[in-house]
Amino acid sequence: MPSFRHTLITICSVALLTGVSSVSVAQDHSRLPQMGTTGAGFMSVERERLIGDYYMRQVRAQAPIIADPALDSYLAELGNSLVRHADSVRYPFNFFWINNPEINAFAFFGGYVGVHTGLIQEARNESELAAVLGHEIAHVTQRHIVRRMQEQQRSMPMTIAGLVGSILLGMANAEAGAAGLYATMGMSQQSQINYTRLYEQEADRIGMGVLANAGYDPAGAPNFFGRLAEKYRYVSKPPEMLMTHPLPESRIADTRARAESMQRRNVAPSLDFHLAKARVDARYTRSSTESELQALSNSTDPFARQYGLYALAIRALDDGNAERAAEHLAPLLAQTPRNRFYLDVQTDILLQQQRYDEALNLLRDAYQRSPNEPVVTLNFANAAIEAGEISLAIDLLRHFLLENNHHILALDLLTNAYERSANRAAMYETRAEALALRGNFKLAIDQLHTAHNHTNNDVTLKRLNARIDQLRAQLEQAQNLM
């Protein structure tokens, strides 16, 4: 289904835990913080989770997060397949895409991991992409930000507000954000090098263990990081990942040695990885030309061929040529008709051609097989709205939101459905929830007051009043949290 795009803004890596010293690997390992040192005395896990929730609301409001069910589901499944093999997981992880061609990924308080679209474009296989996610997961499970702050408390008092302020500054300028963070935390250059290098090594070590235990090739880490370092060795402005995660020769050698000590895996190519990469290429980064995609679609390599055909179908669809898109998609559907990437594009083709009954029948069958699956459900709801089946869309979305209450796209679709049904109270109430998830508690409260004026139902009025009180409490908590 079509994506909801926000204004472009660059987001810095919150894992600003990097360094460039060349101390021997053995010496570095001897100085790694003990695994039991988790910063619990400095900040509770619950407070960390609350700060993460607060920050994520700011990210939703300001960063170009991609609301793309097919890509979101792929990233969530890949990320959670790694989390299931990680230790010290204290809360659910949330993975999301940032529409940014820079090669980068980042993690912050509360288990939030963001991935730039440029990263999957650089990765050659799923093990390489998983290696980066495993590294970021390790930053979170080892509480590196909290531990770094705990170390700095000895030299200078800090505030969470200063930290988050520097992080938000980094959305506009990664280098400025890093400078602000270091200033806020009172870092000397030497202490920055000593500790951040150790945290990067710890994240490499733990992340590679998670990678291998989850069934991916541990060589994905040195292959990706080594190629990245070599590619940008003499470039004056390297990609953000090398600014926030420097790759000195010692670190690359360490990851390569670690991978060689592990059992190598001959991991089968992932079709979903190639389709996710093709979708990013066709719709977001547009890094391949039409002729390049056409050449891929004629390749004898089955994965390259499917990449090319799928990307061409999306390009044609986005250009308003549903018939051409259907031609590109047809051989893919014949091969794997239930693939969710293909289902998403097929739905949009049918909607563009105003073949609403066919779209609804297609999705109804898919929903019966996979009820509440995000790609199926959100496409089904969107098709129902376009077909004028508003009650169906509302039922689908309300049921979906019972289990996914922080899903912005579902809330936006439900707001649209209520608007078309002329249920003004429900429309304003749902819009308030979406605004609250973007950190705009005051406007959310205003929307609930407006909803209050569009109903005389006592039960609805009581619910609205209770929610207003909850949002006021959240607003106060957010103000006091920093």
What are the tens digits of pLDDT across the range 395-425? Answer: 999 999 999 999 999 999 999 999 999 999 9
The more confidently predicted of residues 369 and 225 is 369
pTM of the predicted model as reported, rounded to 2 decimal places = 0.84
Q: Kindly state which CATH superfamily the domain 272-481 is placed in.
A: Tetratricopeptide repeat domain (1.25.40.10)
Specify the pLDDT at position 122. 93
Segment 101-116 shows an average pLDDT of 87
Give which of 5, 55, 69, 7 is closest to 438, Cα–Cα: 55
The residue type found at 205 is: R
pLDDT averaged over every residue in the chain: 82
Return d(Cα 280, Cα 393) in angstroms, integer.
27
Angle at 42 between CA 143 and CA 109, to 5 degrees: 35
Residues 6+ away with beta carbon under 8 Å from 198: 19, 28, 31, 32, 33
The more confidently predicted of residues 21 and 135 is 135
User: Domain extents for the chain?
Assistant: 25-261, 272-481
The more confidently predicted of residues 163 and 186 is 163
Predicted confidence band of residue 17 (pLDDT cuts 50, 70, 90): very low
* Least confident span in 7-16, 216-225, 326-335, 338-347: 7-16
Pairing mode of beta strands 112-116, 94-98: parallel
Rg (CA), the chain: 24
**Confidence check: pLDDT of 337 > 60:** yes
Predicted confidence band of residue 29 (pLDDT cuts 50, 70, 90): very low
Segment 166-178 shows an average pLDDT of 42
For the annotated binding site, the residues are 135, 139, 200
Q: What is the DSSP letter of 429?
A: H
Specify the pLDDT at position 480. 78
Specify the pLDDT at position 225. 86
The more confidently predicted of residues 466 and 252 is 466
Residues 6+ away with beta carbon under 8 Å from 335: 306
Active-site pick, 72, 136, 202, 429: 136
**Confidence check: pLDDT of 434 > 80:** yes
**Confidence check: pLDDT of 320 > 70:** yes
Give which of 278, 292, 282 is closest to 316, Cα–Cα: 282
Specify the pLDDT at position 181. 39
For the annotated binding site for Zn(2+), the residues are 135, 139, 200
Return d(Cα 402, Cα 395) in angstroms, integer.
11
C-beta separation of 11 from 59 below 8 A? yes
* Residue 373 annotated in active site: no
- % of the chain residues with pLDDT over 90: 55
Give which of 137, 143, 150, 267 is closest to 205, Cα–Cα: 137
Specify the pLDDT at position 161. 57
The more confidently predicted of residues 53 and 198 is 53
* Residue 344 annotated in active site: no
Return d(Cα 316, Cα 282) in angstroms, integer.
10
* Least confident span in 42-51, 263-272, 320-329, 436-445: 42-51
Predicted confidence band of residue 234 (pLDDT cuts 50, 70, 90): low
Segment 190-205 shows an average pLDDT of 65
Residues facing 106 on adjacent strands = 114
Return d(Cα 331, Cα 96) in angstroms, integer.
30
C-beta separation of 41 from 150 below 8 A? yes
Specify the pLDDT at position 74. 97
Return d(Cα 418, Cα 58) in angstroms, integer.
26
Cα 199 versus chain centre, distance: 22
Range from 8-17, 260-269, 291-300 that averages highest in pLDDT: 291-300
Specify the pLDDT at position 246. 58
Helix H or strand E encompassing 78: helix 69-83
Range from 52-56, 60-64, 158-162, 301-305 that averages highest in pLDDT: 301-305
C-beta separation of 55 from 164 below 8 A? yes
The more confidently predicted of residues 170 and 203 is 203
The more confidently predicted of residues 5 and 336 is 336
Active-site pick, 28, 48, 204, 254: 204
Return d(Cα 204, Cα 220) in angstroms, integer.
12
